[in-house]
Structure 1
């Protein structure tokens, strides 16, 4: 073995008068390297034979793997770099349109699931049920017993398969219903936007509009419809809201300063509703408004807006001030419109007769509403009404909170908003109709409860309540007694 002839490798004598050069510095260990003397056409002086420039792979292939020589030569032509990548093979030239078409076909094949019909009903978990014989160290089963066990196994597998098949069909049906409902919402939103809202005065009382109203207003137009339905009889303006906000800020600042100087002593002759009692109550209630949403609590995006709106109303109506339950009404409005428009709707909404009676805590007028409600309760569900009378469950124990917060605190938010939709259309009558619908929905359950359980259920309605089911029960409630509507019966009770 001699040093490399060119200083870059070794020359090995093969024994037949020829030399092989092994390259030590080539990046491709399988690359053939020719001897410089061969390239130049001269013969080495120390030998009559020509030197052959061979790589390590050729040497090993020739001497050790002769049967694979041909394959090795093919591989050597492609080559592998030890510390790099060889250039890719040249692909045959294709027309750009053909390449685009092939790419689109691949995308289409990926997007379209194969055998989608079969996968919908495929049952997987039953494959985990395997019928095994007894271990060899135990006596074999009696043939009758083995047959019995086999039949039981097949019955179990079949039952599991049917159960999973039923669940898959149910999920498929629910998905189809969901898509159907989404299409309905899109169509309804288009009708509200293109047909009803531009022609509000002429369209709001039409039968088709009222039917569309019953099924709920799409969220993208809900705020606008509420503004039009509640109206602005009080002529509240955005400027008035800014003035009331400024007064509320001054009131809060004065309250804080006076409490720091005088402590909790009374320093003003103003009614409690307009003093720190309202300010402190607002702070407390704002943080407890829709806690599951985490947007009305301190640091949330709606905390300051809700606080400003309620403070402005307390200054706008000092005779009413702030009453617990107002924060939920204001919060629902803020979720559907900006703060100035929400204040306008809030002020006009709380100026309605039923809300005035409850928020000013007019006990005599509240009793009239309760008595009217009980008359319709007896008319629609006499059995449940008698059961409530027996256990002395009166309307003030459960319906007060429903009216105060307009069901926004008692029902899930989406269902409460749907109640608000129809409340905008039908007025206070629908609030009591909704209350009767809730009682109708849980009638069978309520008939078997005592006082404690009755009050507990009605003050904490189950969270899994279905909006569609509730409105089906509301639809069955008749709001007339001897051809008298709710407002007529209420007026008679007010006079008596």
Structure 2
């Protein structure tokens, strides 16, 4: 027994030493990458962003110290939002909240409907308390609670056509952790204005179905056995993909891993969101093949906590985002055309 205990102790000591060595190496790599990003890449952003060297470095994950800056540059500001514009919409939001508190009337107030009232007050308030609940910083009394409330409130005034949708709070929270308040709002508004996010947050069923159909083309191409298994249970992508896309994986994955997904999403765009989904399915393929409909849905809704960056990104790297000779954008365009023409037999993803 003593000998066995001694062996276990030695084994644990070697394991701790290996983990510490890996962590030290990782920290060294981050420090080295940070110098390159700060001194070489960021000062020459437009020239270097698409080079092979930068793309490879980007894939490995952005150093936390430059993450927010790179995200902002990659997302861009097509909407031309300024910090001053953010302050204007934040002031409007505060006026609206004040007005709602002072009146119990259900009539429109300054053109704001009861639905807007509920969205801007109750839903945002409720969702903030559910956003990264293990992190005190977003809870009431926490240092970022009011900042998160402000950004979400300002957005409902900036885009009343979209309003507030559950899941937005997670996206805003991740941006707040990496950017100053006004910059976080600018990135948030521009991010939600991308075609994929706009389709999901406006609940554009037609566009969402096209994204699901395109996803299934690559699902069948990469993971045919699992694809057929899901088909046998009539388990469709909306059951698990909606939550992943709505929060950009920030609710489904550990925060540090979600940030690394965001890194490459900012590099590659919407395609990477669906590639990540396929990477998750590949990672757990053997487990999922043993499950029925209910257990698959439950598993994908609450992914294991021990999912690691190395394992997931290894699976993502193995996913080929090319169907025959067509890439994601081409397949998506074909699906759009097929649905428009009503020829549902032209796309394998749309077969019943």
TM exceeds 0.5? yes
Q: 1:233 aligns with which of 78, 85, 90?
A: 78
Name which of structure 1's ranges 398-407 and 246-255 shifts more when overlaid on structure 2: 246-255
The yes-or-no answer on 1:488 pairing with 2:333 is no
Check the 8 A contact 1:283/1:307 in 2, yes or no: yes
> Using the alignment, how far apart are the partners of 2:116 and 2:190 within structure 1?
20
Partner deviation per Cα, 1:475-496 (whole Å, 9 max, x = no partner)? 0000000111111111111122
Partner of 2:165: 323
Structure with greater contact order relative to length (CA < 8 Å, sep ≥ 6)? 2
What is the rounded CA distance, in whole Å, between the counterparts of 1:267 and 1:404 in structure 2? Answer: 29
Other-structure match for 1:416: 258
User: What's 1:176 paired with?
Assistant: 21
Query: Conserved in 1, the CA contact under 8 Å of 2:108 and 2:114?
Result: no
Q: Which residue of 2 aligns with 1:343?
A: 185
1:281 equivalent in alignment to 2:123? yes
- Structure 2 portions without partners, runs of 5+: 339-352
State the Cα distance separating 1:168 from its structure 2 match.
2.0
Count of residue pairs the alignment pairs up = 337
Give the structure 2 partner of residue 219 of structure 1: 64
**Residue 206 (structure 1) aligned with residue 48 (structure 2):** no
The CA RMSD over aligned residues, in Å, is: 1.3
Contact 2:132 2:170 in 1 (8 A): yes
Query: The residue matched to 1:402 in structure 2 has which SS?
Result: helix
Which residue matches 1:59? none
TM-score w.r.t. length of structure 1: 0.66
Q: 2:292 aligns with which of 444, 447, 450?
A: 450
Q: Distance in 1 between matches of 2:83 and 2:247?
A: 24
> 2:232 maps to what in 1?
390
Cα pair 1:384 1:443 within 8 Å, conserved: yes
Distance 2:336 2:292 in 1: 32
Aligned mates of 1:167, 1:306 — CA distance in 2: 42
Are 1:329 and 1:406, in contact at CA under 8 Å, matched by a contact in 2? yes
**By how many angstroms is 1:221 displaced?**
0.6
The equivalences for 1:107-122 within 5 A come to none
Per-residue deviation, residues 137-172 of structure 1 (Å, max 9, x unmatched): xxxxxxxxxxxxxxxxxxx44444333322222222
Instruction: State how far apart, in whole Å, the 2-side matches of 1:312 and 1:233 are.
Output: 18
In the alignment, the residues of structure 2 paired with residue 391 and residue 460 of structure 1 have an alpha-carbon distance, to the nearest angstrom, of 19
Q: Cα deviation per residue 1:150-207 (whole Å; 9 max; x = unaligned)?
A: xxxxxx4444433332222222222111111111111011111111001101111111
Q: Does 1:352 align with 2:178?
A: no
Residue of structure 2 in register with 1:374 after alignment: 216
* 2:151 aligns with one of 300, 309, 313: 309
| Alpha-carbon offset, residue 453 of structure 1 | 0.7
Q: How does 1:7-156 map to 2 (within 5 A)?
A: 156=1
- Give, in whole Å, the separation in 2 of the partners of 1:167 and 1:276: 54
2:143 match: secondary structure: coil
Describe the superposition over 1:11-50 as per-residue Cα deviations: whole angstroms up to 9, x where unpaired.
xxxxxxxxxxxxxxxxxxxxxxxxxxxxxxxxxxxxxxxx
Offset at residue 277 of structure 1 (A): 3.0
Q: Which residue of 2 aligns with 1:107?
A: none
Answer whether contact 1:273 1:319 (CA < 8 A) is retained: no
SS at match of 2:164: coil
- Compare CA radii of gyration and give the structure with the larger one: 1
Give deviations 1:59-78, integer Å, cap 9, x for gaps.
xxxxxxxxxxxxxxxxxxxx
Query: Is the 1:252–1:276 contact (alpha carbons within 8 Å) kept by the matching residues of 2?
Result: no
Asked whether the equivalents of residues 59 and 264 of structure 2 are also in contact (C-alpha less than 8 Å), the reply is yes
1:117 is aligned to: none
CA contact (8 A) 2:107 2:113 kept: no
Note the residue ranges of structure 1 that are not aligned, 5 or more in a row: 1-155
Residue 297 of structure 1 is matched in structure 2 by 139
- Judging by fraction of residues, say which structure has more helix: 2
